[in-house]
Amino acid sequence: MRALIVSDIHSNLEALQGVLGDANRRGGFDMVWCLGDVVGYGPDPGPCIELLRQQDLVCVVGNHDYAAIGKIGVEEFNTYAAQAARWTAAQLCKDQVDFLGSLPEVERKGNFTLVHGSLRDPVWEYLVGQYAAVDTFGRLETPYCLVGHSHIPLLCTEMGSVAAFGPFVEDEAVKLGRQRMIINPGGVGQPRDGDPRPSYVLYDSDSGTITRHRVTYDIAITQEKMRRVGLPDYLIQRLSHGR
């Protein structure tokens, strides 16, 4: 079984199409595991939901998905994110709102637990440091935990009572072993690690490996769409920088 692991698509249809195409060229996948924030920031919330729903999909909910359907208030967001969330909410049909509303906060798939933020705080906590990682290992009931939210690729191994952060090198297969791991595939629709290319992971259950890949897409098309619907310039610009 091969799973395509994606997170933080953020209404960026061109980025999502790029990832699906690239993953297909690399041997394809049987399922898509999505770690939340399907919508928010970008210009194509509805089309991204529809394209995802065409896949054999397991998806958990993110803070931007909740904001788009009014389950959390936008006052907790910064100005740009709030503006985008209000615009997003107005674009969704009832069926799409129901879809986002039906997503669980935590889901299990075999050896993996899927969550947007962390197991302590599924939609809000950024799992980027020792404290959050150790806490999530403490709550984790499967060997591996897949997280998103930070838009930054991450590989973190449990070493006794500490969490060891290592590099998650592009295009290099990582063998999953006995040590438990927290894995962030990086962001699809708005990368924040200084590289504007969408980042994703392919899991292969036969070889027991995960491999992270990046793909290029025509950022200018997405930016032009954002301009046309009046999304904040700050959000348009940051797609070029991956920050």
Q: How far is the CB of 196 from Zn ion (least distance, A)?
A: 15
CB of 36 or CB of 180, closer to Zn ion: 36
Residues interacting with Zn ion, by CB under 5 A? Answer: 8, 37
The two three-digit tokens of residue 197, written as one number: 């290319």
What count of Cα atoms within 13 Å lies in the side-chain half-sphere of residue 221?
A: 11
CB of 77 or CB of 137, closer to Zn ion: 77
The two three-digit tokens of residue 33, written as one number: 């595991």
Distance CA 205, CA 74 (A): 39
Q: How far is the CB of 142 from Zn ion (least distance, A)?
A: 23
Gyration radius of the chain over CA positions? 17
Q: What share of the chain is helix, strand, coil (3-state, %, to 5)?
A: 35, 20, 45
Angstrom distances, CA of residue 36 to CA of 6, 58, 205: 8, 10, 22
CB of 8 or CB of 125, closer to Zn ion: 8
CB of 8 or CB of 193, closer to Zn ion: 8
Q: How far is the CB of 62 from Zn ion (least distance, A)?
A: 6
Q: How far is the CB of 102 from Zn ion (least distance, A)?
A: 19
3-state secondary structure of 35: coil
Q: How far is the CB of 100 from Zn ion (least distance, A)?
A: 14
Q: Report the residue closest to Zn ion, judged by CB.
A: 37
User: To which residue do tokens 């698509």 refer?
Assistant: 9
Could you give the residue ranges of the DSSP H alpha helices within the chain? Answer: 13-25, 45-53, 63-68, 79-91, 94-102, 130-139, 219-229, 233-241
The two three-digit tokens of residue 30, written as one number: 């049987």
CB of 176 or CB of 226, closer to Zn ion: 226
Residues paired with 101 in a beta bridge: none
Contact 123, 66 (CB under 8 A): yes
CB of 174 or CB of 183, closer to Zn ion: 183
Output DSSP code: residue 13: H
Q: How far is the CB of 183 from Zn ion (least distance, A)?
A: 16
Q: How far is the CB of 48 from Zn ion (least distance, A)?
A: 13
CB of 151 or CB of 212, closer to Zn ion: 151
Nearest to 4 by CA among 239, 222, 215, 241: 215
